[in-house]
Amino acid sequence: MKRAEIEITGIVQGVGFRPFIFNLAKTHSVRGWVLNNEKGVLIDAESDDGNLDVFIHDIAGLAPPLSRIETLTVKHSNPLGYGTFQIRASQASEEKFALISPDVATCDQCLAELFSAENFRHRYPFINCTRCGPRFTIIKDVPYDRHKTTMAPFTMCAVCHAEYENPSDRRFHAQPNACASCGPSLRLVDRNGEGILGDPIDTALSLLREGQIVAVKGLGGFHLSCDAENDKAVSVLRSRKYREDKPFAVMCRDLEEVRRHCELDQAEQDLLLSNERPIVLLKRKKESTAASAVAPFQNNLGVMLPYSPLHHLLLDGPLKALVMTSGNKSDEPIAYKNGDALSRLSTIADCFLLHDREIHMRCDDSVARVYGGKPYMIRRSRGYVPFPIRLPFPVQDILACGGELKNTFCLTRDTYAFMSHHIGDLENLETLEAFGKGVEHFKNLFSIEPRLIAYDLHPEYLSTKYALSTPNIPKVGVQHHHAHIVSAMAENGVEEEVIGVAFDGTGFGPDGTIWGGEFLKADLRSFRRVAHMKEVSMPGSSRAIREPWRMAMVYLLEAFGDRAPALNIDFMKRVDLKKWGILRRMIERKVNSPLTSSMGRLFDAVASLCSIRDEVHYEGQAAIELEMIAVRDTEPSYPFLMDGTRDPLIIDPAPIIRGVVEDLANGIPAARISSRFHRTVADLVLKTCDRIRAHEKINRVVLSGGVFQNMFLLSLAFDGLSHSGFEVIVHHRVPANDGGISLGQAVIAHMGDDSCV
Ligand SMILES: [Zn+2]
Ligand SMILES: [Zn+2]
């Protein structure tokens, strides 16, 4: 006879772990008990020697699909002579820490029940079990028990309760367990909140078919939904939402429907079908019948599959593809409460498909694409959060506040980095409030009391102001691009020095200029700027970001000086020479014209020169559209200048601009110019890294920053570097854009930031 006390940490709550243990114990004649505590699962087991060993061995080997065992410790002690095996009530222990499962897409078994006329949950829109359903978005506190979720107000009926109490049932301790007679229900209301008669789903569907816009309450917030093939409906949605060009996501009934609109390889298919169910950016087929207003000027389409029972029901009717875009007006946070949605979305939606299961934490859909056969995250949120990124070493309790655009924050303890859900662009009070609430929620869930706060050096970021106004905690300012590089290092477990190539739109440099075309010699603690793009003016500051033609003008002046206005290209025909004169004086007198080394601005300039876009409606639009049109055939690259006499080394793109202008004047199509430009930037990365390697003897290159969401550039740079013997590190699980920098900030703050310029 042997007895073992077994402690398991990881995602082991709310995923059917205790019934699994219960059944395993029965199989191996093990007696004792199992319970949830605030760290995970605790088991006291006794049996004869052989059985107990197999039992312990099988825990890791046969664990339920959604669980993730982080640690499993076994302590042997004297048998107590248990008679049975029991599941005991949860125990609150001193140390309060357990991992929490993200929300999980409806499992196959629940789906089969949903559509089975014999099942008593037939067409019940809130069906779930221990293998699927809402988690993170309904959890108010830990440990994960029903009374600490937004399911608390619903009392289970006898049938649901029997399942909940039956250890051999799939719904044993499924905290959101419910049915039509005891659980949450749907309601369809008009924009004044007045109920609409009829079956909510059937009526919503017929309204959608008529071209109306329906606000649908989902797992992490509201979607604005309409028929994806109805041009008029999609255009109306666009104008009411004040969203001019930014693409909408489409939810397709199944893979077959996805294939009707997009090309799909195996890795993309796996990502679409994964439990996380992100929006996946796919290459759109020419024959796709999705309305052109879904994703104007794009050859990609953001597609996802249904992930809640309600979605499955909505797509079970005549409509096979629905626009499902976040329920907000332009840049506000997504609405997630019924009342809030009714007041904020009533000018957009014609009606509201509501339910009474509250969402405790809003959580936007995640967005990803596939690069190199693996997911390449663009927005890491629903389905992934709050699962932590594991660090290669333990760190202190730190709060990293992230950046401004696409903000996430990060809280660390031990070897866990808990990156938050997508907070959004921290440009208004609502988003700042969501940020503050999110921080408090994560601190409570994971029992983290930060001893250090990390923030971006940009003094005007609201995240920076939040950090600096937090009393009594030491603070560490972290340079934006250093944070990008370290975030990629951290997710890849890299600790040694690297050449960090950080290309993005805007990041505050310690010298007061705006950085964004940077080559850093970096480790987890510090960095040195070893090379960068030549600085140019941004006349009008943020207006130069919204109006790429301003950057085109700046680069023309750099490349041609006074001869620029006489150039025989379409761009000059569009330019208002009066404005040109004003901007030129602003630059000369250094009025509201900060200096920048941003690679994003160079992309903007080339896009405008190629007559692709003179003004943008969302971040990165010009660069995205420049990438879209590039032909993939081999084209020669343009020349550029490297001034190696300077430290840091300066890369001057003036010859690139002269090459682009010459091609334009010769009538070369923009698609070829774009291709040549992309190849040039990849070339410039390779040649600069080569030089740095010769001096610094570093062979490892990290590619990060929002510009590396450009797949054409990423693969050209990756291939070029790999071919020259570099080891190349790229992002996969953490976004290359500013949504990823909170992770880097936290790690740098932990190491003790003594960075220099
Ligand atoms: Zn299920
Ligand atoms: Zn029930």
Tokens standing for 443?
Answer: 């601190």
How many Å lie between the centroid of ligand 2 and the Cα of residue 363? 27
pLDDT, mean over the chain: 95
Asked if the bond preceding 386 is cis, omega within 30° of 0, the reply is: yes
How many Å lie between the centroid of ligand 1 and the Cα of residue 114? 10
> Residue 116 pLDDT > 70, yes or no?
yes
How many Å lie between the centroid of ligand 2 and the Cα of residue 155? 8
Ligand nearest to the CA of 163: 2
How many Å lie between the centroid of ligand 2 and the Cα of residue 156? 5
How many Å lie between the centroid of ligand 1 and the Cα of residue 109? 6
How many Å lie between the centroid of ligand 2 and the Cα of residue 179? 4
> Percentage of the chain surpassing pLDDT 70?
99
How many Å lie between the centroid of ligand 2 and the Cα of residue 157? 4
How many Å lie between the centroid of ligand 1 and the Cα of residue 147? 20
State how far the Cα of 627 lies from the Cα of 712, in Å rounded to an integer.
7
How many Å lie between the centroid of ligand 2 and the Cα of residue 161? 7
How many Å lie between the centroid of ligand 1 and the Cα of residue 127? 7
> Percentage of the chain surpassing pLDDT 90?
89
Which residues are CB-contacts of 729 (< 8 A; sequence separation ≥ 6)?
Answer: 488, 489, 492, 494, 498, 700, 701, 702, 703
Number of separate helices (H) and strands (E) present in the chain:
23, 28
pLDDT tens, residue by residue, 155-174: 999 999 999 999 888 898 89
Residue 93: what pLDDT?
A: 57
How many Å lie between the centroid of ligand 1 and the Cα of residue 756? 52
Rg (alpha carbons) of the chain, rounded to whole number = 28
Place of tokens 């509250």: 358
How many Å lie between the centroid of ligand 2 and the Cα of residue 163? 9
Place of tokens 């993309």: 268
How many Å lie between the centroid of ligand 1 and the Cα of residue 112? 9
Residue 612: what pLDDT?
A: 97
Residue 89: what pLDDT?
A: 81
How many Å lie between the centroid of ligand 2 and the Cα of residue 172? 13
How many Å lie between the centroid of ligand 2 and the Cα of residue 354? 20
How many Å lie between the centroid of ligand 2 and the Cα of residue 335? 28
How many Å lie between the centroid of ligand 1 and the Cα of residue 604? 47
pLDDT tens, residue by residue, 83-110: 999 988 877 654 567 788 899 999 999 9
- What's the average model confidence in pLDDT over 223-233? 98
Task: List the single range of 98-107, 148-157, 497-506, 577-586 with lowest mean pLDDT.
Answer: 98-107
How many Å lie between the centroid of ligand 2 and the Cα of residue 461? 48
Q: Which residues pair with 499 in a beta bridge?
A: 521, 701
Residue 319 identity (one-letter amino acid): L
> Residue 14 pLDDT > 80, yes or no?
no
Ligand nearest to the CA of 66: 1
For residue 326, give the 3-state DSSP assignment: strand
Q: How far is CA 167 from CA 67, 121, 159, 177, in A?
A: 17, 20, 14, 14
Judged by phi (left if over 0) then psi (alpha if -120 to 50, else beta), residue 45 lies in beta
Ligand nearest to the CA of 185: 2
How many Å lie between the centroid of ligand 2 and the Cα of residue 716? 56
Residue 152: what pLDDT?
A: 97
- What's the average model confidence in pLDDT over 273-280? 97
Ligand nearest to the CA of 132: 1
State how far the Cα of 735 lies from the Cα of 491, in Å rounded to an integer.
10
CB 540 within 8 A of CB 529: no
How many Å lie between the centroid of ligand 1 and the Cα of residue 312? 13
Q: Give the containing element (helix H, strand E) for 205.
A: helix 200-209
Kindly give the interhelix angle for 654-665 and 670-696, rounded to the nearest 10 degrees: 160
State how far the Cα of 671 lies from the Cα of 677, in Å rounded to an integer.
10
Q: How confident is the model at residue 373 (pLDDT cuts 50, 70, 90)?
A: very high
Q: Which residues pair with 418 in a beta bridge?
A: 411
- What's the average model confidence in pLDDT over 3-14? 89
How many Å lie between the centroid of ligand 1 and the Cα of residue 148? 21
pLDDT tens, residue by residue, 679-733: 999 999 999 999 999 999 999 999 999 999 999 999 999 999 999 999 999 999 9
* 643/214: higher pLDDT: 214
How many Å lie between the centroid of ligand 1 and the Cα of residue 314? 18
pLDDT tens, residue by residue, 322-337: 999 999 987 789 999 9
Tokens standing for 191?
Answer: 């924009």
How many Å lie between the centroid of ligand 1 and the Cα of residue 64? 12
Which residues are CB-contacts of 386 (< 8 A; sequence separation ≥ 6)?
Answer: 99, 100, 102, 136, 418, 420, 421, 442, 445, 446
Those residues whose beta carbon sits under 5 angstroms from the ion ligand 1 are 107, 110, 129, 131-132
Closest CA to 606 of 665, 666, 653, 538: 653
State how far the Cα of 74 lies from the Cα of 2, in Å rounded to an integer.
12
State how far the Cα of 26 lies from the Cα of 48, in Å rounded to an integer.
13
Tokens standing for 482?
Answer: 């250093």
How many Å lie between the centroid of ligand 2 and the Cα of residue 166? 14
Q: How confident is the model at residue 36 (pLDDT cuts 50, 70, 90)?
A: confident
Ligand nearest to the CA of 107: 1
How many Å lie between the centroid of ligand 2 and the Cα of residue 158? 7
How many Å lie between the centroid of ligand 1 and the Cα of residue 738? 34
Task: Look up residue 732 and give its DSSP letter.
Answer: S
Residue 96: what pLDDT?
A: 63
> Residue 242 pLDDT > 90, yes or no?
no
How many Å lie between the centroid of ligand 2 and the Cα of residue 357? 14
State how far the Cα of 361 lies from the Cα of 383, in Å rounded to an integer.
13
Ligand nearest to the CA of 171: 1
Q: Any idea how long the chain is?
A: 757
DSSP result, 39-98: SEEEEEEEE-HHHHHHHHHHHHHH--TT-EEEEEEEEEE------SEEEPPPB--SS---
How many Å lie between the centroid of ligand 1 and the Cα of residue 482? 42
Q: How confident is the model at residue 757 (pLDDT cuts 50, 70, 90)?
A: very low
- What's the average model confidence in pLDDT over 388-401? 95
pLDDT tens, residue by residue, 547-565: 999 999 999 999 999 999 9
State how far the Cα of 440 lies from the Cα of 139, in Å rounded to an integer.
14
Ligand nearest to the CA of 182: 2
How many Å lie between the centroid of ligand 2 and the Cα of residue 125? 13
Ligand nearest to the CA of 162: 2
Q: How much is the pTM?
A: 0.93
DSSP result, 491-519: HTT--S-EEEEEEEEEEE-TTSSEEEEEE
Residue 460 identity (one-letter amino acid): E
Ligand nearest to the CA of 312: 1
How many Å lie between the centroid of ligand 1 and the Cα of residue 129? 4
Residue 202: what pLDDT?
A: 97
CB 193 within 8 A of CB 141: no
How many Å lie between the centroid of ligand 1 and the Cα of residue 275? 11
- What's the average model confidence in pLDDT over 38-47? 91
State how far the Cα of 244 lies from the Cα of 231, in Å rounded to an integer.
14
Residue 755: what pLDDT?
A: 40
Q: How confident is the model at residue 756 (pLDDT cuts 50, 70, 90)?
A: very low
CB 63 within 8 A of CB 9: no
State how far the Cα of 748 lies from the Cα of 753, in Å rounded to an integer.
6
Q: How confident is the model at residue 633 (pLDDT cuts 50, 70, 90)?
A: confident
Which regions of 389-535 does DSSP assign to beta strands (E)? 389-400, 410-419, 452-456, 475-478, 498-508, 514-522, 527-533
